[in-house]
Amino acid sequence: MNPKQIKALQALLTQPTKAAAAKEAGIDESTLRRYLSDPEFQKEYKAAFSQLVTDATRQAQKSLSPALSALREIVEDEKESAGSRIAAARSLLEYGLRLTEFNDILRDLEGVE
């Protein structure tokens, strides 16, 4: 990839729209569309985007335990309002069920492989 393509790739990963990415990269939108139609550029973009998603997932995973602990503290704190405790309890139940379902799905998928 040439330096303009690299700059366009970085802009695609940080800008909210393709138009903004083109502007950030200092290229026309038509040039960006041409880059996106190139299989090699698509491959690099998909790899970079995948890495971005992986990094964001890791950050979210690191936040799970402290977030759940904070919710649990609210549920257990009798000085908190009933509404706050109920909202925290609902959140714990909701996320607990989602995580359980997710783990069940992963276990099933591992069994298929």
Per-residue pLDDT of the chain (113 residues; tens, 9 = 90+): 899 999 999 999 999 999 999 999 999 999 999 999 999 999 999 999 999 999 998 998 899 899 999 999 999 999 999 999 999 999 999 988 988 898 889 888 887 76
Amino acid (one-letter) located at 3? P
With contact defined as beta carbons under 8 Å apart, do 41 and 7 qualify? Answer: no
Residue 27, SS3 per DSSP: coil
Burial tier of 22 (Cβ tally within 10 Å: 0-12, 13-18, 19+): buried
How far apart, in whole angstroms, are the C-alpha atoms of residue 66 and residue 61? 10
Q: How many CB atoms lie within 10 A of CB 20?
A: 13
Q: Supply the pTM of this predicted model.
A: 0.63
Q: Compute the CA torsion angle 23, 27, 30, 35 (nearest 10 deg).
A: -110
CB-based contact 45:36 (threshold 8 Å): yes
